Structures are given as C-alpha cells and as structure tokens.
Structure 1
Amino acid sequence: MTLITLKNNIKISTILLLGVILFFSCDNTETKKGRFLLKGNEKLKENDPQSAIDFYTEALLVDPDYKDALYNRGLVFQQLNRLDEAISDYSSILEKNPSDSLALFQRGVSLMDNGEYYKALEDSKNLLSLLPQSWKGHFLTGLILEKMKNYREALSEFDRSLALQPDNPEVLINKATLHYYLKEFDTSKSVLDLAQKLNPEEPNIYNLRSMLSFESKDYSQALEWIEKSIALNSKEAFFYNNRGLYLIYLGEYEKGLGDINFSLKQNPKNLYAIRNKGIYYFYQDQKDLALTYFEEVFKKDPEMDLVKEYIGKCN
C-alpha cells in the first residue's frame, strides 16, 4: 500500500538498534581467533564487508562456536541481504544458548526480511518470554505484523514498546510509518516530529518526510528531503530508489533510472524498485515494456500503490 518502499526503512532502523560490532580487550587479542575477529572489525570500519566476512570465517575455523564471530558475521550477511547465511549464523549461536537475546532479535529480523513470518513470530514470542519488560520483543513483533500488513495490531505492539521506552526514536519512526500506510498523514507527521526531536540526525526521518511530500504531490520538496537522507547516510540503496522516483516525476528520467538501477543492483527483489522502473518506461512511451514490470509486481503485491493505476494507463 505504500508509494515508496519503507520495508527497508524498518529493516535498517532495526539493524542500527543492535548492529554494534563487538570489540575485545587487549588480553583477548593475543588469541588467534581474537586477532581474526579484530581484523574483521577493522575491515568493516574500512567499508570492506567481504574481507570482514573472510576474517570472521577464519576465526570460526579456529573455534566453530565462537559466538562473537558468528554474531558479527551474521550482521554483515544481514546488511548484505544474504539472509539465509545470517539466519544460519544466528541459529548456530542459539543452538548453544537459546536465551541469547541479541541473536534471537537479529534472527527474527532476518527471518522476517526473508519472508518467513511465522518463524520470525516464534522468535519474537521467545524474546518477549525472555525479556517481558523490554521494548525489543514488542518492537520486533510490530515489525513482523507490519510485514504481514496487519497494521492495527502492529501499531498496538509499537505502543506497548513505547510504554516501556517512550523516548525511542526508532520505534517512533516505525509508528509514524504505519500511520503513513494507513493514510493518517497528520498523525504520521506528529509522531515523526517527536522522533526528530530525539534524533535529528536519523536519515529515515527525512526519508519518511519525503514520502509524505510525495503523497501531497510536492515532488520538489520530496527530493529535498531524500537528499538530506542520502547526505546523512549515502549507503542505503532504498534512498536512491526513492530519489529515482521523485526525479522521474520531475522529468529527470535518466537520472531517475540510474538511481533505480543502483537500488535494484543491491536488492533485485525490491518490488518498489521494479515498479518504479516500469514507471520510467511508461514515461519513455515504452508501454509494453512498462506493463511487464507492473504485471510482475501485481502478481506479488496487487495492492501496491500506483500499480493498478499504471496498468490501466498502459492498456
């Protein structure tokens, strides 16, 4: 039902909550596995995720049950959308320690992003059982219910999460997102204002503001907001997909296509980017080609905004 993808928005906010790479004391760096872990962490700081994975793997060759290497490698796999591998690493941790809340949370997110919603819900239930006074279990449950398009129940879970930690900007952003999905735009803006006061440097705030501007057909303002998101975090591919759509609506077709293709390269399954590529071809008067993109999306998500409208325009 969204105009522009915000699934990744949720995913990224979640990773930022718990994606802290672990570092060890000087004593631990004397061990072989500890040295490999630290080398992996350094490569990650250098924005070289594949080398980081290689070093974490070396650490795991020394000790296959090395929790910190499994967790860090899982986070990198997750950020690279290699979800089956991320799930495997978190599961390895949980086999030895079923009550590891960090691994349980991240596996739940990975399962959710992999479309395994009911398995993800099992992880969120276990998290709630382990940490009944923590906001995290309700937050994860809300994220999963949102993916399942059960928006009202998801909102209730976010409210429960906020009751336990009222000043959590990530939860507020995702609550604002759900109000956006429900077309409750004024409420979305109000909640977003609260989040911005708590963390004005969070790029997802401005991404959602851009979507709200797009909804009101203020495409120039939408572009300004998404540029702010990209300035704050230039690595998120879904920001470029959003910018690509705005550029198309502003008549800058080739620039828009470049952004959309960049986003698709990072995640070829992103239905919003596939839809946006169809919109590009529609405005290039290649309606038959555009229709193939719209029909692909319609088969998988018939309720996505703009899809039916453009299918009608192509016929």
Structure 2
Amino acid sequence: MKTLITFKIITALSILITLSIVTEDRAIADNLLPVGIKDSFNLAQNPQKQADALFNSGNQKLIQKNYAGAIADFSQAIQIVPDFEKAIYNRAVAYDLSGNRQNAIDDYDRVIKLNPRNVNSYFNRAVAKAKFGDKQGALSDYNRVIEIDPKSTDAYLNRGNLIQASGDLQGAIANFSQVLNLQPNRADAYLNRGLAKYQSGDRQGAIADYDLAIKANPNYHLAYNNRAWAKADLGDNRGAMADYDRAIQLDPNYYLSYYNRANLRRTLGDESGAIADYDKSIKLKPDYAFGYNNRGLARKKIKDLAGATKDFTKAIELDPNFAEAYYNRGVVRQALKERGGAVSDLKTAAQLYQQQGSKTQSTNALNLARQVQNQK
C-alpha cells in the first residue's frame, strides 16, 4: 500500500498596515494525506476483505469530497477490523476536511497508539491542535514529526510560525532557515522569514528575503505586498507603490493589497485614491473592520463627515471592541456638534484602550471626552 494522495493547503503569510494596528495572517501548512486512494481490493467474504472493500469505497468518496459518505464507509471498515490503521487515518482526514477537528484529533490519537511513528498523524494533529488554540500541543507534535523525519520542511515551517507567535523571532528565523537549507527555492519560507526579520527590526534583511521569494516565484503576489510595506517603512514610497501595483496585477482579488495601497495613498495625501482602494478592499471582504475605519479617516479628511460616521459605525458593528473606531467616531461627532454622542464614544474608547493595555491612548481619549463635555 502504497500510494498517497496529498491534500496540502499552504496559506502563505501576509502583512498589512493600519494607522495604529498591524494584523497578520499566519501561514500554516495543512498536510492532509489520505492513504491508499489508488489501491483496489477484490471483494471476498472474509472480514479483512470486506473491510478492504469499504476502505476502497471510502477513498473514492473522499476523492469526490463526499466526506459524510467516506466517514460512513471508513467507520464500517473499522467496525469490522478495529485496528485497521489506514481506515482510521483516512477517517481522520475526512473529519478534518469536513471541519470536525475534534473527531479528527481523536482518530489521529488512535492511529498514533497503533503506530507511534505515523508521522502524518502527528503533523495533521498538530495543525488541528493549533486551530483549537492548543499551541503547546501543536508544538510538541511538530517536534515529534521532526524527530521522526528531520527533513520535514512543512513541520519546520509551521513550528517556526508557532515560535514566532510566541515572540521568539530568532527561533522562528532558525526554523525558516532550516526549511531553506532543505529546500532552497521555497518561496513561502523566504516570505515568513522576511516577516520575522521585519518584526525584529531588520527591514533590509526582510526586503532581501522578499526579493528571494520573488526570485523563487516571480508571480508571488504576497511577496510583493509584504516587500511594499517594508519599502514604505524605509521611505521608498515609489518602490512600495510599484510593488502594491504588481501585487494587485498578479491577484486582483486579494483585499489586503488594495487596503495596504490605500494606506500608502493616504500617507501621500491622495485621499480620493485611497477611498477608491478601500472601496475595492471592502467589496472583496465586507466584514473587514479596519477597511471601514480607515476609509472613515479618509472621508473625514475630505470633510465627508456623514460618510465617515457611517464607516466608523460599521467598523464598530463588526468589532465592538475596536477602540480606535469609537475614538474616531467621537471626534467626528464632536465636529458635528453631537456632544452627547461624542462624549459617549470617547469614554467607550478610553475604557477599551485601558482594557487593551493602551494607557496613553486611554488617557488621551478621556481628556478629550472631558474637554467636549465642558464645552459651552
């Protein structure tokens, strides 16, 4: 047995900017690997042959994305042969692909008890644990994958992401570098290492890695997007704009590139161009609170106070804990002479800033609320 069909999703990491907040889409590698898809079995009456036939049927349904049917077939096979490792594993994959990660984890646990060196089960279980927020459990599983298979580049990539999220940037860089030692042309590893370098303050090192990501994959829109941010940080606005343009050319449906380019346009004083880009970003991702907040700032700049208020309100609707949106709406309401609403928003912003550890911003919001309240 024998042949593996790989269901692998690598969502590469991206970075974005806002006036005061940085949001990141953390890249992980999903490695869902059903076994024996191409195997065929002859029907017979003995239990193993019956289980094999059900296993084969489940595999075909898995290919067709009929996850419920696949799970039913694998379950019948397991009922006949309780220690049927491949059927348990493929049922775990079917659960995983259908979004039922807890059942998937339970089946990966069962496979690992049967075969403590089943590297794919450790890997997939790590991905599922990370999605559940069990970062330590995921890290332990990635460590085990690397122990069994020291050349598992996906495990190093994902372990690097977890370590990076914990704040150990140098440890993350070491893991991404190990990916590149094993697979020198892997663009997503350059991309992720570039972000870790950026976060550590090494802007030039980040750009160098984004250059290598683009060299490995000239159509890698995320690398252009991320390099643009680093260039803008170093004052190369022209280079940043060219990179955002290229990122959008390569993937016109990626909302963050429009959002980031809009932010750059605002820094250059092009509020109308920024609003047009925010419009595109919001159209692609209507639930993106930052897009509404920043479009509200652009509208405020061109004196469209009603439009700005509407945008800040939508941002708050999408994220009730968005302190900056409350603050911005409070400022606009002050300009509109809506004293009560302005004071309420500013006090809410102060409370949220305090809860989120932004003491200076909390104090500023509270002082402005008092100033508005005392106006005659």
So what's the TM-score if we normalise by structure 2?
0.62
The aligned amino acid for 1:290 is A
Radius of gyration: which is bigger?
A: 2
Determine the C-alpha separation between the residues in 2 that align with 1:227 and 1:88. Answer: 43
Structure 1 residues 32 and 103, CA, compared in 2 at 3 Å: closer, same or farther?
same
Q: Do residues 290 (structure 1) and 349 (structure 2) align?
A: yes
Q: CA deviation at 1:175?
A: 0.7
- Residue of structure 1 in register with 2:226 after alignment: 174
- Residue of structure 2 in register with 1:134 after alignment: 186
In the alignment, is the contact (CA less than 8 A) between 2:227 and 2:243 conserved in 1?
A: yes
Deviations 1:256-281 (A, max 9, x none): 211233xx6xxxxxxxx554455455
SS at match of 1:102: helix
More deviation, 72-81/167-176 = 72-81
- Residue of structure 1 in register with 2:206 after alignment: 154
Structure 1 residues 257 and 78, CA, compared in 2 at 3 Å: closer, same or farther?
same
- Residue of structure 1 in register with 2:14 after alignment: none
In the alignment, is the contact (CA less than 8 A) between 2:350 and 2:362 conserved in 1?
A: no
In the alignment, is the contact (CA less than 8 A) between 1:206 and 1:226 conserved in 2?
A: yes
Q: CA deviation at 1:223?
A: 5.2
Q: CA deviation at 1:68?
A: 3.4
In the alignment, is the contact (CA less than 8 A) between 1:243 and 1:259 conserved in 2?
A: no
Structure 1 residues 161 and 21, CA, compared in 2 at 3 Å: closer, same or farther?
same
Structure 1 residues 99 and 138, CA, compared in 2 at 3 Å: closer, same or farther?
same
- Residue of structure 1 in register with 2:168 after alignment: 116
- Residue of structure 2 in register with 1:36 after alignment: 92
- Residue of structure 2 in register with 1:240 after alignment: 289
Determine the C-alpha separation between the residues in 2 that align with 1:201 and 1:81. Answer: 29
Structure 1 residues 36 and 227, CA, compared in 2 at 3 Å: closer, same or farther?
farther
- Residue of structure 2 in register with 1:254 after alignment: 313
SS at match of 2:123: helix
The aligned amino acid for 2:222 is E
Structure 1 residues 220 and 129, CA, compared in 2 at 3 Å: closer, same or farther?
same
Q: CA deviation at 1:35?
A: 1.6
- Residue of structure 1 in register with 2:304 after alignment: none
Q: Do residues 60 (structure 1) and 108 (structure 2) align?
A: yes
Q: CA deviation at 1:105?
A: 0.7
Cα RMSD for the two superposed structures: 3.6
Determine the C-alpha separation between the residues in 2 that align with 1:70 and 1:275. Answer: 41
- Residue of structure 2 in register with 1:99 after alignment: 151
Determine the C-alpha separation between the residues in 1 that align with 2:93 and 2:142. Answer: 17
Deviations 1:178-214 (A, max 9, x none): 2233343322110112222222222322221232244
Structure 1 gaps, min length 5: 45-50, 265-272
SS at match of 1:178: helix
Q: How many corresponding residue pairs?
A: 283
Structure 2 gaps, min length 5: 1-16, 40-54, 60-73, 75-86, 301-307, 333-341, 372-376
More deviation, 159-168/72-81 = 72-81
Structure 1 residues 123 and 38, CA, compared in 2 at 3 Å: closer, same or farther?
same
- Of all paired residues, the percent bearing the same amino acid is 17
Determine the C-alpha separation between the residues in 1 that align with 2:128 and 2:282. Answer: 21
Determine the C-alpha separation between the residues in 1 that align with 2:91 and 2:296. Answer: 46
